[in-house]
């Protein structure tokens, strides 16, 4: 019964097969799984021992009908089996049964439908511990019990038979094999007494056994020929920390036993791990390690591997990553699935991954989903059965060498059936011709010990069987023809009769021997086109075909060599596509005729790939619509393409209004303020490879006008009265993007109606309660910018200060005191009311505010009085006026009658200066107070400013900067303008006299220094020096700049004044310095400099050849320099030589002029390379044309004859 289906997420490169994992009823009780095709439908079934019973799951994850089958409980206690079921045909009906033993001392056998087999269960003489094994040939079953019994049960059931006592505590399985070739099956197991027992089915002990081990084993022994002596060996992983390998004489094989660091629980696997056609031994130990040793006990490379966690189960072996090589698969005790390749490393495609919580069940290998790849089956104690499919890069047909614990579903522990084998197949002759006879040779081996019988011999010519030569050991003379490929196969007679191809070598094939003939001559060929570039297809053409002396039909093999390196191409390749070629490469084709057997002499043709010009790039400007104030960058929207794959450079050229701009061709950007609006900029970018200029891209743009930006607008003062002038005040003035001189158009509105008024509106034009608004619009001479506005409300003006006087003075106590009060007109035209306040001797008199005079009797002789008068306009009081007087006794006796002057006195004018003296560029114009104005009343004095500018001093216009502006921003100025400032002192009540500064004329601004460099940056005496402008100077006045060049050599002035110095003027080790200034016709920039040191010049490549021009195998080769390299510094030139064979440097000493003939083989491709050296630098190498070594027929015949003579002497 299936409790649940659980989907496991993919880990690394594995994923659960659809239908898995399967949750079985009851935990997995066995230490391994069984795998078999129960119903012969070519799909795999998985047998799982569970608590308390057995479950069979098909390849789709479904439980087969009749399962799970439960073992009957004993006295209410569940019964389980600790080991996997064996699968075999026990009754001879052609159908497989499932056989297992349980802890209730019974042996069970079930059909594939879950029905008990006839005669079962069978009572056992003791508790079974190890797995059941099948003795197929007898249809018997074998197992051990903890009581020390080796038990055999017939497939029909009946009574269990103990055939040997093997010591109490036995817990291992039983291997089944005919060890000594007597056609009697042996049973191999380890007893509880730590002895290795080998007995036949009757209980007869094999001579030399039992063999003593150090401790018992809990697994099934493995059987196979591990030392290659054509005899079977027994391998046991025991709990004595040892791997044992026992020969048929009961003794350890040479190199064994192999020690581990802890017990081996799960047994060993036999497989060819290192792919050398011999069996190796794999064991997983409780010391956290996996061991792999060869048949002589030697550790394989990369082993042992420490997994970090104990392993309690058996390893399995198969090609799980499909790379054609075996892999070891284990599950450690933490539940991790681990895969290791033949080198002891984990394949990148199958990283370690945790499958279960506890790994107590050995994995199994099978192609579960039928996709041709091995899947990994993993059981667990937590009732889950996993089936993992692998996604791996390999495509090899996977081979399973040890798929399950015990090797197979029958638990035989043996590698397989052994057929006779044939080794060292070959011929008695090294070479053969058509007139010769041909005799075979081989060595016969049979693991079953049988003598060689009717060995079948089959001869083949070019792969076709020669039936008339069946079983002949010699091909008679005259039968063979030149060019034919002869071989033979051998098959054991018994295998031939039964047509049964069991594991091992069924048919052995000899190598082929070719009946030799005369090689063809060389063909004459040519390569077209003669001067190809990387756009052209190279084609090899036969001008004159090769001649074959034997009249054979010829085919041609084409070998293409690029710069001395043979290319991996099909042998019939006559054309080379353009994508494979690169400029300056030397391509050579070697064409060799083949007559079906032998290659002839080579024919050659060589061309050099010419340079292909690069394409043009696609350009864009950043910004796309630049303005005068913008730096301009040229960007490559799409880079140029070069068919040669060269590293490309781009040459930038600029024209402004069709006049070339004097900048370096490396300049990719231009600074701001280099051009005026309306200028046309043309950019040309030409692509260069390392040889020539390619495509050119152009881009033109006219610097259009940009409307000016709006500053912040305000009306000053912010709180206005009718006695205030209203002034437009601009702030946050932004420089025009086109650097135009901006004028400011303004329009005043009073209570929403337009009025014509200047920037400063006189106070007399305003009235209380009016709302004045100004709208300011910037204008650059071509376009207006956005408008901005500000407004102010004309508020009430307080009444003026009254004037107080007496009609006559002094006054006395005998008369009425009545001051004369005069009030100026209210600024707002309001009617005024006067209020009076009186003081006697500085003490307030208690009179009402409407008391305008002192009656007789109010004042007394000797008193000092003060009268205060305030005007009120119905809203607010004005300033208070006062008058102080003394009272006399009689007329003419008053001491004084004086008035405190009520009118405020204005401050004096300051002195001002406008600056700076050299105004222009980005410098603001300032109006500075040199000497402050003085106030006679000691009031705090502030200043109000007004600014005027114009092209002429006689035509100045007020600038909208407001009365608080102490400077005019540079954004408002331009060269040649006249500026003045006016300053008016103000004490908070009245203004003083306005003063005007001397005029200031905005002057010329010197240009900035350019940025320069010298090209090339790494120069030698073969290079012209060019002083180039990487970035031009910038002139804020837009003057056209000219550049002056000067040169220094080692710090001393050189006569050169241009931007170029000829290569002939330079010498190695000199330091050259370029000095550049920009000049605007009036002023020069700071000096820009760049320098370069003249390096050593490398020598040119020499011309070399290999002699002789057409060498044969076995002849010496000589590298000859036929044209020496030249050195521009007149240095002595030496050479380092190297020899290249088939594209690989041979590593000879650098001065090797010769290659000895013993190293020169037919069809080798040799080339000599000479690197010039002037004592400082290597020059470019000179390479000889490749030479293809021809067959030295005479020398070959001589060698063969000598070999034949030696054989005859032996």
Query: Tens of pLDDT along 68-87?
Result: 999 888 776 778 888 999 99
Residues 784-816 pLDDT 10s = 999 999 999 999 988 988 888 887 767 788 888
Same domain, 1035 and 1174: no
Task: Flag whether pLDDT at 475 surpasses 60.
Answer: yes
Comparing 6-10, 13-17, 1064-1068, the range with the smallest average pLDDT is 6-10
Res 420: pLDDT? 65
Alpha-carbon distances, residue 596 vs 148, 559, 807 (angstroms): 70, 17, 152
Name the most confidently modeled range: 222-231, 346-355, 1101-1110: 1101-1110
275 belongs to a structural domain: yes
Residue 681 confidence (pLDDT) above 90:
yes
Kindly indicate the confidence band of residue 1193, based on its pLDDT and cuts at 50, 70 and 90. Answer: low
Question: Percent of the chain, pLDDT > 70?
Answer: 94
Span 987-1009, mean pLDDT?
A: 89
Has residue 1202 been placed in a domain?
no
Task: Report yes or no: 999 and 953 within 8 Å, Cβ to Cβ.
Answer: yes
pLDDT tens sequence across 1170-1185: 999 988 889 999 999 8
The band of 367, judged by pLDDT with boundaries at 50, 70 and 90, is: very high
- Rounded to the nearest 5°, which phi and psi values hold at 971? -60, -20
pLDDT at 1195: 61
Contacts of 1178 (CB under 8 A, 6+ apart): 1098, 1136, 1171, 1172
CA 738 to each of CA 656, 695, 920, 1003, 1033: distance values in angstroms, whole numbers, following the listed order? 16, 34, 17, 20, 18
Half-sphere exposure in the Cβ direction for 888 (13 Å, CA): 12
pLDDT at 873 over 70: yes
| Structure tokens belonging to residue 1055 | 């006569």
Radius of gyration over every alpha carbon of the chain, rounded to an integer in angstroms? 57
Structure tokens at 759: 């920037």
Label residue 357 by pLDDT band (50, 70, 90): confident
**408 phi/psi in degrees, rounded to 5:** -145, 175
pLDDT at residue 528 in the model:
94
Give yes or no for residue 1210 having a pLDDT over 70. Answer: no
Question: Does the structure show a pLDDT above 50 at 397?
Answer: yes
Whether residues 557 and 688 fall in one domain: no
- pLDDT of 135 strictly over 60: yes
Claim to verify: residue 87 and residue 141 sit in the same structural domain: yes
Q: Please choose, from the candidates 448, 398, 431, the residue with its C-alpha nearest in 3D space to the C-alpha of residue 271.
A: 398
Residue 412 counted as domain residue: no
Q: Which of the residue ranges 440-454, 618-632, 954-968, 1047-1061 would you say has the lowest mean pLDDT? A: 440-454
Q: Determine the Cα–Cα distance for residues 62 and 1; give it in Å rounded to an integer.
A: 10
Among 795, 819, 852, where does a domain finish?
Answer: 795
CB 769 within 8 A of CB 792: no
Handedness of CA 68, 69, 73, 76 (dihedral sign): positive
Q: 876 to each of 19, 822, 834, 903, 1063, how far by Cα in Å?
A: 99, 19, 12, 19, 92
pLDDT in tens, 1008-1067: 999 999 999 999 999 999 999 999 998 887 888 899 999 999 999 998 788 999 998 999
Residues 299 and 359 in one domain: yes
Same domain membership, residue 652 and residue 598: no
Say if residue 846's pLDDT is above 90: no
User: Would 413 be classed as within a structural domain?
Assistant: no
| Tens-digit pLDDT profile for residues 878-892 | 888 888 888 877 654
**pLDDT beyond 90 at 686:** yes
Pair (224, 119) in one structural domain? yes
**Is residue 495 very low, low, confident or very high in pLDDT (cuts 50, 70, 90)?**
low
Choosing from 640, 669, 702, the residue where a domain stops is 702
| CATH number of the domain residue 743 falls in | 2.60.40.10
pLDDT of residue 518: 67
What integer pLDDT is reported at residue 1094 of this predicted model? 92
Q: Which pLDDT does position 7 carry in this prediction? A: 30
| Cα 914 to Cα 997: distance, rounded to the nearest angstrom | 6
Domain contains 508: yes
pLDDT on residue 2: 29
Say whether both 237 and 381 belong to one domain: yes
pLDDT tier for residue 11 given thresholds of 50, 70 and 90: very low
Residue 66 has pLDDT above 80, yes or no: yes
Indicate the pairing of strand 811-812 with strand 877-888. Answer: parallel
Q: Is residue 613 part of a domain?
A: no
Residues 395 and 258 placed together within one structural domain of the fold:
yes
Distance of CA 1153 to the CA centre of its chain: 45
With a cut of 60, say whether residue 167 has pLDDT above it. Answer: yes
CA dihedral 271, 277, 279, 284 (to 10 degrees): -40
* pLDDT, the chain, mean: 88
What per-residue confidence (pLDDT) applies to 535?
85
Specify the CATH number for the domain of residue 571: 2.60.40
Domain of 875? 827-899
Question: Which pLDDT band, with edges at 50, 70 and 90, does 577 fall under?
Answer: very high
Question: Can you give the pLDDT at residue 713?
Answer: 92
Provide the pLDDT for residue 283: 97
pLDDT value of residue 35? 95
The CATH number linked to 196 is 2.130.10.10
Q: Is residue 1203 part of a domain?
A: no
Bridging pattern class, strands 1117-1123 and 1134-1141: unpaired
Q: Which residues pair with 539 in a beta bridge?
A: 528, 575
pLDDT at 897 over 50: no
- pLDDT tops 60 at residue 1198: no
- Shared domain for 302 and 448, answered yes or no, is no
Residue 264 has pLDDT above 90, yes or no: yes
If asked whether residues 150 and 272 sit together in one domain, one would say yes
Average pLDDT over residues 761-777: 93
How does DSSP classify residue 89?
-
Q: Where does the pLDDT of residue 617 fall: very low under 50, low under 70, confident under 90, or very high at 90 and above?
A: very high
| Least-confidence region, from 818-827, 897-906, 1021-1030 | 897-906
| Within-domain flag for 707 | no
Look up residue 783 and give its two tokens: 């376009």
Tokens of 1073: 């310095």
Specify whether 981 is located in the same domain as 1054: no
So what's the pLDDT on residue 1199? 60
The number of domains in the chain is: 9
pLDDT tens readout for residues 93-106: 999 999 999 989 99
648 falls in which pLDDT band (50, 70, 90)?
very high
Residue 246 scores a pLDDT above 50: yes
Instruction: State the pairing for strand pair 1000-1001/753-755.
Output: unpaired
Most trustworthy range by pLDDT among 160-164, 321-325, 544-548, 976-980: 160-164
Per-residue pLDDT, 548? 78
Structural contact between residues 99 and 107, judged by C-beta atoms closer than 8 angstroms: yes
Q: Six-digit token pair at 706?
A: 């940009």
Q: Which of 1001, 1028, 1047 is the last residue of a domain?
A: 1001
Compare 99 and 399 and report the one with higher pLDDT: 99
Q: What is the 3-state secondary structure (H, E, C) of 767-833?
A: CCCCEEEEEEEEECCCCECCCEEEEEEEECCCCCCCEEECCCCCEECCCCECCEEECCCCCCCCCCE
Specify the DSSP element, H or E, that contains 1200.
helix 1193-1209
Mean pLDDT of 345-349: 85
237 shares its domain with 288: yes
- Inter-residue contact 871 to 834 (CB < 8 Å): yes
């Amino acid at each position: 019964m299936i409790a649940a289906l659980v989907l496991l997420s993919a880990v690394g490169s594995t994923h659960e097969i659809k239908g898995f994992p399967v949750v079985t009823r009851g935990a997995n009780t066995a230490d391994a799984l069984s795998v078999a095709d129960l119903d012969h439908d070519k799909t795999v079934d998985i047998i799982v021992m569970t608590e308390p019973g057995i479950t069979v799951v098909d390849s789709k994850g479904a439980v087969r009908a009749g399962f799970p089958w439960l073992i009957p409980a004993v006295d209410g206690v569940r019964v389980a089996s600790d080991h996997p079921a064996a699968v075999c045909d026990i009754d001879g009906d052609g159908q497989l049964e499932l056989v297992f033993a349980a802890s209730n001392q019974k042996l069970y056998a079930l059909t594939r439908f879950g029905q008990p087999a006839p005669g079962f269960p069978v009572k056992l003489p003791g508790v079974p511990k190890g797995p059941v094994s099948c003795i197929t040939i007898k249809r018997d079953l074998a197992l051990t019990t903890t009581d020390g019994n080796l038990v055999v049960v017939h497939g029909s059931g009946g009574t269990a038979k103990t055939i040997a006592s093997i010591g109490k505590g036995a817990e291992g399985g039983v291997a089944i094999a005919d060890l000594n070739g007597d056609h009697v099956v042996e049973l191999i197991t380890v007893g509880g007494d730590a002895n290795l027992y080998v007995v036949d089915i009757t209980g007869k002990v094999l001579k030399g056994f039992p063999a003593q081990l150090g401790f018992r084993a809990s697994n099934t022994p493995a059987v196979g020929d591990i030392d290659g002596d054509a005899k079977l060996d027994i391998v046991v992983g025991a709990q004595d920390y040892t791997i044992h390998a026992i020969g048929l004489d009961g003794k350890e094989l040479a190199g064994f036993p192999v020690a581990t660091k802890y017990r081996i629980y799960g047994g060993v696997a036999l497989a060819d791990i290192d792919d050398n056609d011999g069996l190796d031994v794999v064991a997983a130990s409780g010391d956290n390690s996996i061991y792999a040793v060869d048949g002589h006990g030697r550790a394989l490379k990369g082993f042992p591997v420490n997994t970090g966690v104990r392993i309690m189960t058996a390893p399995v072996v198969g090609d799980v990553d499909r790379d054609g090589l075996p892999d070891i698969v284990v599950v450690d005790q933490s539940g991790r699935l681990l895969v290791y390749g033949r080198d002891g490393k984990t394949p990148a495609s199958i990283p370690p991954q945790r499958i279960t919580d506890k790994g107590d069940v050995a994995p199994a290998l099978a192609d579960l989903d039928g996709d041709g790849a091995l899947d990994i089956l993993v059981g667990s104690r937590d009732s889950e059965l996993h089936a993992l499919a692998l996604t791996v890069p390999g495509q090899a047909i996977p081979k399973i060498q040890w798929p399950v614990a015990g090797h197979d579903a029958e638990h035989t522990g043996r590698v397989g059936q052994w057929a006779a084998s044939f080794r060292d197949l070959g011929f008695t002759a090294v070479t053969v011709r058509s007139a010769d006879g041909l005799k075979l040779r081989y060595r016969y081996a049979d693991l079953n010990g049988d003598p060689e019988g009717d060995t079948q011999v089959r001869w083949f010519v070019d792969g076709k069987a020669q039936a008339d030569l069946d079983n002949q050991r010699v091909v008679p003379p005259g039968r063979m023809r030149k060019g034919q490929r002869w071989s033979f196969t051998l098959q054991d007679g018994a295998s031939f009769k039964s047509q049964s191809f069991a594991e091992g070598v069924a048919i052995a094939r000899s190598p082929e021997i070719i009946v030799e003939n005369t090689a063809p001559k060389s063909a004459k060929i040519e390569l077209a086109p003669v001067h190809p570039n990387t756009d052209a297809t190279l084609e090899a053409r036969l001008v004159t075909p090769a001649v074959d002396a034997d009249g054979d039909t010829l085919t041609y093999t084409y070998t293409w060599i690029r710069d001395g390196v043979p290319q991996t191409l099909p042998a019939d390749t006559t054309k080379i596509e353009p994508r494979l070629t690169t400029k300056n490469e030397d391509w050579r084709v070697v064409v060799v005729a083949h007559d079906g057997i032998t290659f002839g002499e080579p024919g050659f043709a060589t061309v050099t790939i010419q340079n292909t010009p690069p394409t043009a790039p696609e350009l864009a400007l950043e910004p796309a619509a630049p303005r005068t104030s913008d730096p301009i960058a040229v960007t490559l929207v799409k880079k140029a393409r070069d068919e040669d794959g060269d590293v490309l450079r781009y040459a930038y050229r600029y024209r402004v209004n069709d006049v070339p701009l004097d900048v370096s061709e490396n300049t990719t950007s231009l600074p701001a303020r280099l051009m005026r609006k309306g200028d046309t900029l043309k950019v040309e970018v030409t692509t260069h490879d390392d040889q020539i200029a390619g495509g050119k891209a152009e881009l033109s743009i006219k610097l259009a006008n940009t409307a000016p930006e709006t500053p912040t607008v305000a009306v000053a003062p912010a709180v206005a009265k009718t006695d205030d002038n209203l002034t437009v005040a601009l702030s946050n003035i932004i420089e025009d993007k086109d650097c135009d001189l901006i004028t400011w158009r303004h329009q005043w509105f009073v209570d929403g109606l337009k009025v014509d008024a200047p920037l400063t509106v006189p106070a007399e034009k305003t009235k209380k309660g009016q709302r004045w608004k100004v709208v300011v619009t910037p204008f650059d001479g071509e376009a207006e910018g956005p408008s901005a506005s500000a407004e102010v409300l004309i508020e009430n003006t307080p009444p003026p200060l009254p004037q107080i006087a007496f009609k006559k003075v002094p006054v006395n106590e005998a008369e009425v005191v009545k001051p004369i009060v005069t009030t100026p007109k209210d600024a707002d035209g309001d009617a005024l009311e006067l209020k009076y306040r009186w003081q006697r001797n500085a003490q307030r008199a208690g009179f009402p505010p409407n008391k305008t005079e002192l009656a007789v009797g109010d004042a007394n002789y000797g008193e000092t009085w003060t009268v205060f008068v305030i005007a009120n306009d119905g809203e607010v009081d004005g300033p208070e006026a006062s008058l102080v007087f003394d009272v006399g006794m009689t007329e003419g006796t008053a001491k004084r009658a004086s008035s405190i002057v009520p009118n405020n006195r204005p401050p004096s004018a300051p002195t001002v200066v406008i600056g700076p003296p050299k105004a222009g560029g980005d410098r603001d114009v300032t109006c500075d107070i040199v000497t402050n104005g003085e106030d006679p009343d000691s009031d705090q004095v502030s200043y109000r400013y007004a600014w005027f500018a114009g092209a002429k001093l006689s035509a100045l216009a007020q600038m909208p900067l407001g009365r608080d502006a102490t400077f005019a921003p540079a954004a408002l100025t331009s060269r040649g303008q006249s500026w003045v400032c006016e300053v008016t002192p103000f004490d908070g009540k009245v203004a003083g006299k306005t003063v005007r500064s001397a005029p200031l004329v905005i002057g010329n601004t010197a240009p900035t220094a350019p940025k320069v460099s010298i090209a090339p940056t790494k120069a030698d005496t073969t290079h012209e020096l060019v002083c180039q402008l990487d970035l031009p100077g910038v002139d804020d006045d837009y003057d056209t700049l000219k550049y002056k060049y000067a040169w220094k050599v080692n710090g001393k002035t050189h006569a050169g004044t241009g931007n170029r110095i000829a290569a002939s003027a330079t010498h190695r080790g000199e330091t050259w310095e370029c000095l550049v200034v920009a000049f605007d016709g009036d002023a020069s920039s700071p000096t820009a400099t760049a320098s370069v040191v003249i390096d050593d010049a490398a020598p040119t490549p020499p011309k070399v050849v290999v002699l002789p021009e057409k060498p044969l195998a076995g002849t010496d080769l000589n590298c000859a320099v036929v044209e020496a390299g030249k050195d521009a510094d007149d240095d002595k030139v030496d050479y380092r030589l190297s020899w290249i064979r088939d594209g690989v440097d041979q590593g000879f000493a650098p001065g090797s002029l010769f290659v000895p003939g013993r190293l020169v083989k037919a069809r080798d491709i040799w080339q000599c390379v000479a690197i010039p050296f002037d004592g400082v630098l290597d020059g470019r190498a000179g390479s000889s044309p490749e030479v293809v070594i021809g067959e030295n027929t005479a020398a070959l015949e001589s060698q063969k004859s000598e070999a034949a003579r030696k054989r005859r002497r032996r």
